């Protein structure tokens, strides 16, 4: 029987959860792996704050370097979060020959290529199942279970905070701010919730999934990102009237030599299984050429679900250690020499259906001017609705289009915004009609 020493950097919500699992389920995990994991040290800059765990004398320390330089520690778990210190420690640990497990999506999305190369160079593992979708096993699904598939598309609800806020606004008429406060209290939101509500956390996760799905270098900057801060109760209400639900989606479509990669709020029909994913839950629909549609669902955040994903990586690495395997499964799912740079379409090049809401002065001829401009830009209207809801002297004019090119949409909206009768900035929400998105 093998003993493996673990060191954890960072004892926040997830660090506490991983420590608990390693301590409380030590014998259970041993019965499944033949390995006795010993949590040798946990480091955090704040060792005074009360946690829901009590460590044995000498385990909880302030000095992360002590863990990174300890020759007896085999696996280091980075749960500090953020990018700068986490990157320094991860690089140092890999260079010291430690296997590293992390839940840090911002770190991987920003520096993943360098970290993966460093891991290979030092003959160690770098694992990150907990970085996307909490306990939803999406990394292993893409890298291992669906290895025989060309991935055609992925559509996910990858941010628990945004999904919680949109669900609360839509089902309980809760305000955005109150729902965000609750998400913070429940521990889903990032230390800086701007990353959640502006879509960047979803983009970090999508960048990682795209790399694993298509054998692409991890690149964050070419993902189009829009958050949920402009979604109003009125648009949620209109969406419902038309049979849609608004979700923050992370979408990627594979066109062989190019891909689409975008994060934005979208209206999806009630027939789409993602429309039923509520609260802080995450889900992703992956279309493989062999499997067809596969859907994963689970807790995308929170102490124990995320800890569960971290433990799965620790166990994978331990199994490799005891069978003397080194990076048996390529870190990004493809042989490193086959990881390519694949270009990403600009948002202007995508095709979608669109929902517009204009605040228009209730004057004769407004609708014909709007529809004229849309027609001039090759945008075909599917539904028009002008209700009597007069708000500050304007009426909402809602239009749903057939499939149109985003570039044309942007040009048309610019012209419509300049009409005298259009009062506020138009609201635009993309619609993902196809169930196989």
- Size of site (CB under 6 A) for ligand HSE: 11
Which is closer to ligand HSE, CB of 161 or CB of 272? Answer: 161
Which is closer to ligand HSE, CB of 17 or CB of 215? Answer: 17
Q: Return the residues of window 285-324 that contact ligand HSE according to CB under 6 A.
A: 300-301
- List residues with catalytic annotation: 205
Q: Return the residues of window 117-136 that contact ligand HSE according to CB under 6 A.
A: 134
In the set 73, 108, 189, 206, which binds ligand HSE (CB under 6 A)? 189
Nearest approach in angstroms of CB 140 to ligand HSE is 17
What is the per-residue binding string for ligand HSE in 89-118, x denoting contact by CB under 6 A?
------------------------------
Which is closer to ligand HSE, CB of 132 or CB of 350? Answer: 132
Nearest approach in angstroms of CB 305 to ligand HSE is 9
Q: 324 is written with which tokens?
A: 């003397």
Biggest distance spanned by C-alpha atoms of the chain: 83
Which is closer to ligand HSE, CB of 181 or CB of 424? Answer: 181
Q: 426 is written with which tokens?
A: 């138009």
CB 17 within 8 A of CB 51: no
10 Å CB burial of residue 270 (0-12, 13-18, 19+) is exposed
Query: What is the C-alpha separation between 404 and 395, in angstroms, rounded?
Result: 25
In the set 10, 160, 215, 227, which binds ligand HSE (CB under 6 A)? 160
Q: Does 196 bind ligand HSE (CB under 6 A)?
A: yes
Q: Does 210 bind ligand HSE (CB under 6 A)?
A: no
In the set 44, 78, 152, 190, which binds ligand HSE (CB under 6 A)? 190
Supply φ then ψ for residue 65, to 5 degrees: -60, -30
Q: 303 is written with which tokens?
A: 């102490």
Q: 375 is written with which tokens?
A: 């027609």
Which is closer to ligand HSE, CB of 264 or CB of 357? Answer: 264
Where are the alpha helices (H) located in 186-232, listed in sequence order?
Answer: 194-197, 200-214
What is the per-residue binding string for ligand HSE in 362-401, x denoting contact by CB under 6 A?
----------------------------------------
Give me the sheet containing 99-102, strands edge to edge.
60-61, 35-43, 2-9, 75-78, 99-102, 126-127
In the set 78, 201, 406, 433, which binds ligand HSE (CB under 6 A)? 201
User: Of 140, 186, 159, 95, which Cα lies nearest the Cα of 310?
Assistant: 140
Query: What is the C-alpha separation between 287 and 214, in angstroms, rounded?
Result: 12
H/E stretch holding 394? strand 394-401
* Contacts to ligand HSE by CB under 6 A: 134, 159-161, 188-190, 196, 201, 300-301
């Amino acid at each position: 029987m093998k003993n493996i020493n673990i060191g954890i950097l960072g004892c926040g919500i997830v660090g506490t959860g991983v420590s608990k699992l390693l301590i409380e389920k030590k014998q259970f995990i041993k019965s499944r792996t033949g390995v006795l994991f010993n949590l040798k040290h946990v480091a955090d800059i704040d060792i005074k704050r009360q946690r829901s765990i009590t460590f044995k004398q000498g385990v909880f320390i302030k000095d992360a370097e002590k863990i990174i330089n300890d020759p007896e520690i085999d696996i280091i778990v980075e749960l500090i979060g953020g990018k700068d210190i986490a990157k320094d420690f991860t690089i140092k640990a890999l260079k010291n020959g430690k296997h590293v497990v992390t839940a840090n999506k911002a770190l991987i999305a920003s520096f993943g290529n360098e970290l993966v190369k460093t891991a290979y160079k030092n003959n160690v593992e770098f694992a990150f199942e907990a970085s996307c979708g909490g306990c939803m096993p999406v990394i292993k699904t893409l890298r291992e279970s669906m290895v025989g598939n060309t991935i055609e598309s992925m559509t996910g609800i990858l941010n628990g905070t945004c999904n919680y806020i949109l669900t609360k606004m839509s089902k309980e008429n809760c305000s955005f701010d109150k729902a965000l406060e609750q998400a913070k209290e429940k521990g889903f939101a990032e230390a800086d919730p701007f990353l959640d509500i502006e879509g960047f956390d979803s983009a970090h996760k999508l960048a990682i999934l795209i790399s694993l799905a298509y054998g692409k270098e991890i690149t964050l900057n070419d993902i189009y990102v829009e958050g949920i801060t402009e979604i109003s109760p009125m648009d949620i209400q209109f969406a419902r009237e038309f049979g849609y639900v608004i979700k923050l989606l992370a979408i990627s479509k594979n066109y062989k030599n190019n891909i689409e990669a975008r994060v934005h709020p979208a209206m999806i029909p009630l027939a789409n299984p993602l429309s039923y994913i509520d609260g802080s839950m995450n889900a992703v629909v992956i279309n493989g050429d062999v499997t067809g549609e596969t859907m994963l669902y689970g807790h995308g955040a929170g102490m124990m679900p995320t800890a569960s994903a971290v433990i799965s990586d620790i166990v994978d690495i331990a199994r490799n250690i005891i069978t003397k395997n080194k990076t048996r499964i390529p870190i990004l799912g493809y042989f490193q020499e086959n990881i390519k740079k694949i270009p990403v379409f600009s948002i202007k090049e995508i095709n979608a259906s669109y929902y517009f809401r204009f605040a228009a002065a209730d004057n004769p001829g407004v609708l014909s001017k709007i529809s004229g401009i849309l027609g001039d830009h090759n945008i075909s209207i599917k539904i028009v609705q002008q209700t009597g809801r007069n708000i500050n002297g304007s009426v909402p004019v809602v239009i749903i289009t057939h499939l149109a090119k985003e570039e044309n949409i942007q040009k048309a909206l610019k012209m419509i915004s300049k009409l005298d009768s259009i009062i506020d900035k138009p609201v635009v929400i993309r619609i993902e009609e196809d169930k196989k998105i």
